[in-house]
Amino acid sequence: MSTPEIRFNGGTLQVSGELNLKTVPDALSQFESLPVTSAESVLIDLGGVTRSDSAGVALLIEYIRQLRLADVPVTVSHLPAQMQEMAQLSGLDQLLEKH
């Protein structure tokens, strides 16, 4: 299992590692300690995600929710096929489209 790493630099939130039921709490905690809600906009880059389950999709939705509550425009890039498929099956794929 690869512990997730969440970094924020220059408006880009880089997410890497595994996102699953066991690792998502740590990934959420890392996110909440970053100054992302004070950014002008945020690009969530998932290019470093090695594996994800439905908990990873839920985490991404929570990131988006918190940013939108702070009125921070958000886009998602490099959404892994695994996460994209789960989002489509659950009807959440429109939420993850670029805005």
The predicted structure's pLDDT at residue 55: 93
Q: In the 8-state DSSP scheme, what is residue 1?
A: -
The predicted structure's pLDDT at residue 66: 96
- Is the Cα dihedral 28, 29, 30, 35 positive or negative? positive
Would you place residue 36 in the very low, low, confident or very high pLDDT band (cuts 50, 70, 90)?
very high
Q: Is the pLDDT of residue 99 over 50?
A: no
Supply 84's token pair.
Answer: 């994209």
37, HSE (Cβ side, Cα atoms, 13 Å)? 13
This prediction's pTM: 0.89
Q: Is the pLDDT of residue 46 over 90?
A: yes
**CA-CA distance, 80 to 67, in Å (whole number)?**
21
For the beta carbon of residue 50, count every other beta carbon within 10 angstroms. Answer: 13
Domains and CATH numbers, the chain: 5-90 (3.30.750.24)
**CA-CA distance, 54 to 40, in Å (whole number)?**
29
